[in-house]
C-alpha cells in the first residue's frame, strides 16, 4: 500500500533544463570550449558532477568540477531569477498527495544550492517535504538507487511503500532498483524511453489517479 511519494525535482516540479544547460554552455565558453544543449542530454538526471563532468570528458577537458559547478550555479541563479516556472500540475499534485495523508520527500541529484534556487523561484516551500535528499547526501547518484532508498528511510518507510516521480531514464532506473513503483512524466524523454515506469503521463496535471491508489 502506498504511504509516501518521492519526488525528483528538475523536469518533474520545475522546467529548469534549458536554464542549467545555458549556464553550463556559458561556463564552457569562458574556457573556450563550444558545447551544445544536446551534449548534456545523456546526463540529464544524474547530478551536476556528471552533467558538467560528462560533457567535459567528451571534449577532453580536464575540469576542476568544484570550481566549474560554482561558476555554473552563479550563472544559473542570475538567469533563472524571475524566469523559472513550476511544471503543469506540480503544486496541485503535491496537494493531492497531501490530501491522501501521504508522506513526501524530495530526492534530487542536484546540489543543495540549485535545489534552493529552484524551490524559491517556483514558490514551493521546503516545509512541504518531510525529507529532502540532494546529490550531496549520497555517494552513488542515479541510476543507482541510493537516493531513493535514503529518502524512503528518512520517511520511516520501505521503498516498496513509495511512489517515485521522475522524468529521466536514469531516475526511473534508480526508483525501480530501489523497489519503488514509478510515475514518469515525459518532460525530458519520450514515453518510449520510459517504459520501465509503472505509469507515464505528459505532466503531473495529467497524472493518473491509479498512481496514488495502490
Residues 87, 31: contact at Cβ < 8 Å?
Answer: no
| Residue 199 φ then ψ, to 5° | -140, 145
Catalytic residue among 10, 15, 111, 167: 10
Render the burial of 187-208: b for 16+ CB within 10 Å, e for the rest.
Answer: bbbeeeebeebbbbbebbeebe
127 classed as catalytic: no
Pairwise CA distance, residues 153 & 9, whole Å: 19
15 classed as catalytic: no
**Between the CA atoms of 195, 197, 202 and 205, what dihedral angle is there, to the nearest 10 degrees?**
170
| Catalytic (active-site) positions | 8, 10
Amino acid at each position: 500500500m502506498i504511504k509516501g511519494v518521492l519526488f525528483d525535482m528538475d523536469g518533474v516540479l520545475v522546467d529548469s533544463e534549458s536554464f542549467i544547460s545555458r549556464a553550463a554552455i556559458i561556463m564552457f565558453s569562458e574556457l573556450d570550449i563550444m558545447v551544445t544543449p544536446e551534449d548534456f542530454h545523456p546526463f540529464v538526471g544524474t547530478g551536476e558532477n556528471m552533467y558538467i563532468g560528462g560533457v567535459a570528458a567528451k571534449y577532453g577537458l580536464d575540469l576542476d568540477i568544484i570550481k566549474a559547478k560554482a561558476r555554473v550555479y552563479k550563472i544559473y541563479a542570475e538567469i533563472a531569477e524571475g524566469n523559472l516556472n513550476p511544471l503543469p500540475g506540480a503544486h496541485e499534485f503535491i496537494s493531492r498527495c497531501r490530501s491522501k495523508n501521504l508522506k513526501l520527500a524530495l530526492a534530487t541529484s542536484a546540489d543543495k544550492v540549485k535545489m534552493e534556487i529552484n524551490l524559491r523561484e517556483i514558490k514551493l516551500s521546503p516545509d512541504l517535504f518531510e525529507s529532502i535528499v540532494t546529490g550531496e547526501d549520497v555517494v552513488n547518484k542515479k541510476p543507482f538507487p541510493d537516493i531513493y532508498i535514503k529518502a524512503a528511510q528518512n520517511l520511516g518507510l520501505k521503498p516498496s511503500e513509495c511512489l517515485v516521480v521522475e522524468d529521466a531514464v536514469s531516475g526511473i532506473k534508480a526508483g525501480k532498483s530501489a523497489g519503488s513503483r514509478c510515475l514518469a512524466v515525459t518532460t525530458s524523454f519520450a514515453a518510449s524511453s520510459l517504459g520501465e515506469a509503472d505509469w507515464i503521463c505528459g505532466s503531473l496535471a495529467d497524472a493518473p489517479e491509479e498512481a496514488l491508489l495502490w
